[in-house]
Amino acid sequence: MKIALKRSARWWRRDAIHVATLFLAVLLQVSGCASEPAPSYAPPPSTFDRSWSAAIAAARDEGVQILSEDRASGVIIGNRGEQEVTINVRNQADGSVRMEFGARGPKGSDPGLAGRVSRAYDRRMGR
């Protein structure tokens, strides 16, 4: 009987080693599987922010020197020579942004400045 017990204990140890090895192999296989990282999402700038930046850049494109920027009231004031340029940026109830471009100065100054700033704004907005 002693021989039978020794033999069964040897078989049990050998089976336990096989089971443990198999368990580790499966564990390593499972832990080696990695999912792709979730794509990061960066929200685009708000419509107002994008419009504000484009309006300032458009004015500078046309040679307007920015004198003041009041983001809270949505007013940008600048000048080019003797002309004063005013740009109003307003949020609408539907989420869109309303832009107003104006230029005033002495008689004989550049009458098309406001229109050129508006067209430069459209280009910057991809229109």
37-85 tens-digit pLDDT = 777 766 666 799 999 999 999 999 999 999 999 999 999 999 999 999 9
Residue 22: which H helix or E strand, with range? helix 2-32
d(CA 40, CA 123): 29
Does the structure show a pLDDT above 50 at 118? yes
Asked: is 47-124 a CATH 1.10.3470 domain? The reply is no
Rounded CA-CA distance 10/60 in Å is: 87
- Give the pLDDT confidence score for residue 26 in this predicted structure: 67
Q: Tell me phi and psi for residue 86, to 5 degrees.
A: -125, 130
Where do we find the tokens 């009987």?
1
pTM higher than 0.75, yes or no?
no
